[in-house]
Structure 1
Amino acid sequence: MLSFETAQVYAWIGAFFWPFLRILSLLMAAPLFSARQIPTRVRVAFAVVLTVALAPALPPMPPVAFDATGWLTVVQQLQIGLVMGLAVTLMLSVVQLAGSIVGLQMGLGFSTLLDPAQGTQVASLAVFLNVLALLLFTALNGHLMMLAVLARSFTLVPVGAGPLLGSGAWQMLAAQGGTLFALALAFSAPVLGTLIIANLGLAVLSKLAPQLNLFNLGFPIFFVLGLLALYFAMPSLETVVRGLVERGLDLAQAVMMAGGASEH
């Protein structure tokens, strides 16, 4: 008759329980996986499948403990997965923010749609660019890159090896808000430059022909020129999304290191 000691059972549970927490929290915040259209049960089931697939290749895990240290480890794993997901999501939101800026300058600020990824009303052009960025994210195997970094994080940040992420880590993540606006403006700069030139041209035209109705004339001009400029900027979107994904994954690792969650 087989018999197992309590320590053995806790060790077997820990080999799957700790990776499951980190993977589940990542899926709750990562782009594409965190879409509101995906039910929570599907995320949990997918996290279970990933845990079973990754557990044999991960470093040894500590056994499950029901003391203060065990609960601290639970919160630590949830924080690490959440930080990784938020970092990549934050970087990819650059494309959506650029779409909002361009749409506002084109006169499309009044046109809003439901964003399928976030479940909120945003500018229609921003929704289009966001969906396109998510498609490129998948086509470029960004989701696989994210899962690969997740598996590597168990070596960089072993389970139970350090304290919770401190305030410095969250401040570093929040400080990327300035970078978010800077990158969005850089991506939308060609379209904004075209529209500024069009504005200057209309200003000169208003002086030469004051009888023209600039409100009726300006909207179609801005719309057409904005779409043309956006069309010529589209080939660079693949490079932009690739760079944003890599930057997001680098940010996730930097935040974890800054929070003292790893050993140096």
Structure 2
Amino acid sequence: MELTDAQIGGWVGSFLLPLFRIAALLMTMPIIGTQLVPVRVRLYLALAIGVVIMPTLPPMPSVDAISLQAFLLIAQEVLIGAMLGFALQLFFHAFVIAGQIVATQMGLGFASMVDPTNGVSVAVIGQFFTMLVTLLFLAMNGHLVVLEVLTESFVTLPVGGGFLTTHYWELANKLGWVLGAGLLLVLPAITALLVVNLAFGVMTRAAPQLNIFSIGFPLTLVVGLVIVWIGLADILAQYQLLASEALQLLRDMAQLR
């Protein structure tokens, strides 16, 4: 069996180039791209997705498998997939930031645990919010929306087409919404805990002999937990708002409408 350079180049363009974009997204996106999923499983999943969507993709450029153009196209596909995955990471980290802020305000910042998804220590409240948003993301088929955006991106951002335009630099300026989103999630808790701390300050001035540390710390902790418990009643509405913004940002990055 003899294979020509044109045939090898056609196979590289039709399968391997889209595979790099798919694999880059799966390596960087939340849930699938974490340490909980082995790299080999992610590669097998990328191969399976590539085989399924390959018949629906537009014609791919035919390039030499070992040329400079092929390496540049591979780098471009990896960058596009990583950008899409990074946008989703920002959405998840908004809840991590929210949990870290409220844990610090209520005096629970020292209670940390290892996050198995990232391999770092985070506050317990932040880890709770991470698990909660992961379950909500899967329950509302957010991963299917991501795969839909990925498939359609091969039409709006074809392999070999230019994508580093002013449009992307404008989108990069919008990525700072993650900190604002994290603050918005815990703003009621921060306000309530601030009132509690001000009350303890007044008590200290009124009764200096009162040991404020032995009374204030456990009371602040209990009040903070109660506030978090009450705030969970509205977490679904906040999640839907932030998820819609994050997925719309994902579609804007893929130039979808």
TM-score normalised by structure 1 residue count: 0.88
What corresponds to 1:12 in structure 2? 11
8 Å CA contact 1:109–1:123 kept in 2: the answer is yes
Q: C-alpha displacement at 1:205, in angstroms?
A: 2.0
8 Å CA contact 1:10–1:64 kept in 2: the answer is yes
8 Å CA contact 2:171–2:253 kept in 1: the answer is yes
The number of equivalent residue pairs is: 255
Q: C-alpha displacement at 1:154, in angstroms?
A: 0.7
Could you tell me which runs of 5 or more consecutive residues in structure 1 were left unpaired when the two chains were aligned. Answer: none
Q: Spell out, residue by residue over 1:207-261, the C-alpha distance to the aligned partner (whole angstroms, 9 max, x if none).
A: 333222111111121111111111121132223333333322333344466xxxx
What corresponds to 1:59 in structure 2? 58
What corresponds to 1:78 in structure 2? 78
Question: Aligned to 1:161, what secondary structure does the other structure show?
Answer: coil
8 Å CA contact 1:23–1:81 kept in 2: the answer is yes
8 Å CA contact 1:84–1:252 kept in 2: the answer is yes
Q: C-alpha displacement at 1:59, in angstroms?
A: 1.8
Q: Spell out, residue by residue over 1:164-207, the C-alpha distance to the aligned partner (whole angstroms, 9 max, x if none).
A: x3798468537623x22211111100111110111122122223
What corresponds to 2:127 in structure 1? 127
8 Å CA contact 1:102–1:192 kept in 2: the answer is yes
1:25 maps to amino acid: A
1:201 maps to amino acid: A
Question: Aligned to 2:159, what secondary structure does the other structure show?
Answer: coil
1:89 has 2:92 as partner: no
Work out the CA distance in 2 between the residues paired with 1:30 and 1:108.
29
8 Å CA contact 1:77–1:159 kept in 2: the answer is yes
What corresponds to 1:105 in structure 2? 105
What corresponds to 1:251 in structure 2? 249
Matches within 5 A, 1:67-216: 67-162=67-162, 165=164, 169=168, 172-173=171-172, 176-177=175-176, 179-216=177-214
Distance of aligned partners of 1:174 and 1:43 in 2 relative to their CA distance in 1, 3 Å threshold: farther
Distance of aligned partners of 1:42 and 1:170 in 2 relative to their CA distance in 1, 3 Å threshold: farther
1:20 maps to amino acid: L
Identity of aligned residues (%): 35
8 Å CA contact 2:15–2:54 kept in 1: the answer is yes
1:19 maps to amino acid: P
Work out the CA distance in 2 between the residues paired with 1:111 and 1:170.
39
Question: 1 or 2 for the larger relative contact order (CA 8 Å, sep ≥6)?
Answer: 1
1:81 maps to amino acid: G
Question: Aligned to 1:118, what secondary structure does the other structure show?
Answer: coil
Q: C-alpha displacement at 1:83, in angstroms?
A: 0.2
1:126 maps to amino acid: G
Work out the CA distance in 2 between the residues paired with 1:170 and 1:111.
39
Q: C-alpha displacement at 1:64, in angstroms?
A: 4.0
Question: Aligned to 1:160, what secondary structure does the other structure show?
Answer: coil
Question: Aligned to 1:36, what secondary structure does the other structure show?
Answer: coil
TM-score normalised by structure 2 residue count: 0.90
Work out the CA distance in 2 between the residues paired with 1:121 and 1:187.
21
Q: Which runs of 4+ in 1 moved over 3 A?
A: 2-6, 165-175, 252-257
Work out the CA distance in 2 between the residues paired with 1:153 and 1:84.
10
Could you tell me which runs of 5 or more consecutive residues in structure 2 were left unpaired when the two chains were aligned. Answer: none
What corresponds to 2:225 in structure 1? 227
Q: Spell out, residue by residue over 1:28-67, the C-alpha distance to the aligned partner (whole angstroms, 9 max, x if none).
A: 1101011112211111111001111111222222234332
Q: Which moved more, 1:53-62 or 1:27-36?
A: 53-62
Distance of aligned partners of 1:100 and 1:253 in 2 relative to their CA distance in 1, 3 Å threshold: same
Question: Aligned to 2:50, what secondary structure does the other structure show?
Answer: helix
Question: Aligned to 1:31, what secondary structure does the other structure show?
Answer: coil
8 Å CA contact 1:169–1:256 kept in 2: the answer is no
Work out the CA distance in 2 between the residues paired with 1:143 and 1:125.
24
8 Å CA contact 2:10–2:61 kept in 1: the answer is yes
Question: Aligned to 1:158, what secondary structure does the other structure show?
Answer: coil
